Structure 1
Amino acid sequence: MSTGLADNVRKYRRTAGLSQEGLAEASDLSLSTVRKVEQGGHVSMETLHALARALNVSTSALFATEAPKSVLSTQDEANRRYLVELRRALMPPIALSAPLSEPVEAGELSSIRQGVQDGHALYQADRYGAVAKRLPSLLRTSEAAASALDGEEGQHAVIARAHALLLTGKYLTQVRQYDMAYYALAEAIRLARETGQTQLAATGVVGLCWLLLRQDRFDESEQLAAQTAVEIEPRMSEATPAQLAVWGELWLRVAAAARRNNRPDVANHSRRMAAAAGGALAREHADFPSHWSAFGPVTAEAKAVEDLALVGDARGILRRADEGPLSAKAVKNFGRLSANNWGRHRLDIARAHVLLGSHQDAMDELTNLRDTADVWLTHQPMARRVMTDILKTRKRTLTEDMRSMAAHLGVAG
């Protein structure tokens, strides 16, 4: 963790008149953890959130801007090689006159639309490698079509291009290639706005807020989502399900950013707005491409449970998972979570089991996710944190399944 962050924590602690022991007690953390932070050690976002609550400041107030540490990551090096074709297609070199990239024949609009739909289905099926292979061609042919066609057909080509960019940004955010993802999403939003596709542009904003949240840019994520939600607020009696879904997702983004930034009042209000959108839908809604992910009362409830995970309320997580829209018996009435949201919810449950010392229950959750969403799981820091905590706190000898899972997630035993 940066020395600037350590200095900020120390400054706010002293301003509050607290000793390190006092801050540890107020934040419900160990004294060794507080000392680790103030010595520049690495800690989780949950720990920083707990410190911000105890110090009565926003979480982002603890962050600092300074030069990054020199770290050689073999995984980052590998990702640069794996995604070289996608990078070339998304961000080709720009010259003063003629482009440096090879000319590409414009794709048929029907083929581009089908390509986006197929790519989205592969993404939802956790087949990230297949998505990465399809995107370069999709980006090149959609760009060529948008450049070659004019009139009404040209406008449809630009809209198809925006869809291709949105899929690209969503995929790159999932695999944590944030700079490339930002470029794709920003361009998708721009093209959607220029062609009057407000719903598509708002969908892009949902994705961009997710990216900002993953970068710990809480203030910007909250402000962008809230502003967009106000701009597209639907009339409940006339709104389509897709309009309600995107509006509800924006409020989920506001709530997630505000909760992580120690703004509980804003988070609670936003959760109520998302719940209102989910209630208006009555059950989970998914209708690609008018709406890019499932949303409804179950999603709204699952994201509210994430708040409990953030403050370490393990018993609250397990209780809420067995009642209301998230309970097994509610599926018939409310529908199911999307695969990704279901996986994230089960990781919250796994974390709750670890906090309560139920290591085998936590392992059961991880094993089930490995069976159903193998690749997705390897991209989840929460899964690695759960596994790390199991390794640290389990007093008995590790089982073979535990050692296998640790190796799968790249966690040192």
Structure 2
Amino acid sequence: MTYAGMKVKDARKRTGLTQRQLAEHSGVSLSTIRKLEQGERSGARMETMHALARALRLPTMSLVTEPDEEGARAETRELWEPVRAELMRPPSREIDAPATPSGVSEVLATTVPLYRNHRFSELASMLPTLLRDADTLPDEGRSVRVRVLQLAASALTHTRQFDLAEIVVRRALAEGQDRMSAAASVNTLAWLLLRQGRLDEALSLATQWADDMEPRLSRASTAELATWGLLLLRASGAAARNNQAGVAADMLRLARSAATAIGHEVDAEHQNVRTFGPTSVRMLSVEDALIKDRPDVALRLAENMPRYSVRPTRSVRSRHGLDVANAHARLGQFTEAFGKLTEVQAGSPEWFLNQTSAQHTLQTIIDGRRTLTPEMRHMADTLRLER
């Protein structure tokens, strides 16, 4: 029996539930529970474990040890191998012509749009040289080097290269010269931990830093409010996934107060590509409703999305699109769900390939339909769903 199966069986027995009763309370199929407890399945999706934990009144992480996200595809790792080699290269003692902070900043400015627009193949080709140049910067260029490392860590996380991403973001955190820059690295690290399913670590890290960074609302700058709000959103997301609904609600309430104090969506300073404001908070509320298994509420919240001149990044908007697709699929609205998946894929084709949420939503559509369209079959092949 696997660890997850053993924990589910033990918790079910201690609560006095039969397998059938657990299936009824959780919404997880009886067949899945039986296979999990009998060791016929090595594990289950985080969404499944979350539903079981909710029914058993336990934190999700008490049932889970392994990350819920698998690593990068072989072709992705091959594409990013030069980046990996540069990041793991021993520091050079002899530098013929060190780069300048202004020069590296100029190149960084040309790579950020590649990240923003999910053009990861092009970004992977530019990062090795950018990283090497940043590594040669003197002490006065440390802040520029940190921003380069933060960008690399975010891109590696997007492409599910979690081991290397953690090395890089911790390097950026160690080199940070001020609290705002360090908080940006912490935000990325908490996101990385969350994607790996390391919910306890993500929650602890984000909560600690949010407490340390809490400003006085009446005197705080926009940058301080945005930094604090982003950490609160990370903490809320981790708590919600770990079945700590009260903590998640408190964090979301505080984030909403920060967004209200700002009054509109803003680019967050020191954060490279993140924004914060009422729209970001509303999008997290949609995600929170889905975690609570309220797809109807999620869709209602998605209909009244605040709009400002500054919009959340493509990553946040695409993730929100997947949440909307997921909500439609859970309600049996398969045409609408697939339409939204298609829209997200068209806007971010490289990013889309690395999203397990897209796989899960498409699987729900496939399970709920008697026949599939050619487009659905093609997307299933693209996402490599098991036949």
> Displacement of 1:311 after TM fit?
2.9
Corresponding letter in the other structure for 2:134: S
Residue 116 of structure 1 is matched in structure 2 by 108
> Displacement of 1:183 after TM fit?
0.8
In the alignment, does 2:339 pair up with 1:364? yes
On the 8 A contact 2:268/2:276 being kept in 1, the answer is no
On the 8 A contact 2:147/2:272 being kept in 1, the answer is no
On the 8 A contact 1:104/1:144 being kept in 2, the answer is no
> Displacement of 1:241 after TM fit?
1.6
> Displacement of 1:25 after TM fit?
1.7
- The 5 A counterparts of 1:162-311 are 162-192=146-176, 195=177, 197-286=178-267, 289=270, 292-311=273-292
Using the alignment, how far apart are the partners of 1:50 and 1:63 within structure 2? Answer: 12
Aligned length: 383
On the 8 A contact 1:378/1:409 being kept in 2, the answer is yes
- The 5 A counterparts of 1:15-54 are 15-40=14-39, 41=41, 42-54=43-55
Q: Which stretch of the first structure deviates more once superposed, 112-121 or 294-303?
A: 112-121
Structure 1 residue runs of 4 or more that deviate by more than 6 Å after TM superposition: none
Corresponding letter in the other structure for 2:37: E
> Displacement of 1:315 after TM fit?
1.1
Q: 2:356 aligns with which of 355, 359, 381?
A: 381
Residue 311 of structure 2 is matched in structure 1 by 336
Residue 88 of structure 2 is matched in structure 1 by 91
> Displacement of 1:37 after TM fit?
2.2
Corresponding letter in the other structure for 1:319: R
Q: Which stretch of the first structure deviates more once superposed, 51-60 or 236-245?
A: 236-245
Q: Structure 1 length as normaliser, TM-score? A: 0.87
Corresponding letter in the other structure for 1:283: H
Using the alignment, how far apart are the partners of 2:21 and 2:328 within structure 1? Answer: 28
Larger Rg: 1
Q: Which stretch of the first structure deviates more once superposed, 284-293 or 211-220?
A: 284-293
Residue 134 of structure 1 is matched in structure 2 by 126
- SS of aligned partner of 2:273: strand
When residues 20 and 189 of structure 1 are mapped into structure 2, their CA distance, relative to the original with a 3 A threshold, is same
Using the alignment, how far apart are the partners of 1:244 and 1:163 within structure 2? Answer: 20
Corresponding letter in the other structure for 2:344: L
Residue 55 of structure 1 is matched in structure 2 by 56
Using the alignment, how far apart are the partners of 2:23 and 2:265 within structure 1? Answer: 41
> Displacement of 1:105 after TM fit?
3.4
Using the alignment, how far apart are the partners of 1:304 and 1:235 within structure 2? Answer: 24
> Displacement of 1:251 after TM fit?
0.5
Q: Which has the higher contact order (CA 8 A, sep 6+)?
A: 2
Corresponding letter in the other structure for 2:121: G
- SS of aligned partner of 1:331: coil
When residues 368 and 253 of structure 1 are mapped into structure 2, their CA distance, relative to the original with a 3 A threshold, is same
When residues 264 and 287 of structure 1 are mapped into structure 2, their CA distance, relative to the original with a 3 A threshold, is closer
Unaligned runs of 5+ in 1: none
CA-to-aligned-CA distance 1:70-118 (integer Å, 9 cap, x gap): x9x9x64333322221112111147xxx76xx85631121111122222
Using the alignment, how far apart are the partners of 2:374 and 2:25 within structure 1? Answer: 39
On the 8 A contact 2:286/2:299 being kept in 1, the answer is no
Corresponding letter in the other structure for 1:183: I
> Displacement of 1:403 after TM fit?
2.0
Unaligned runs of 5+ in 2: none
Residue 399 of structure 1 is matched in structure 2 by 373
- SS of aligned partner of 1:292: coil
Q: Which stretch of the first structure deviates more once superposed, 15-24 or 173-182?
A: 15-24
Corresponding letter in the other structure for 1:162: V
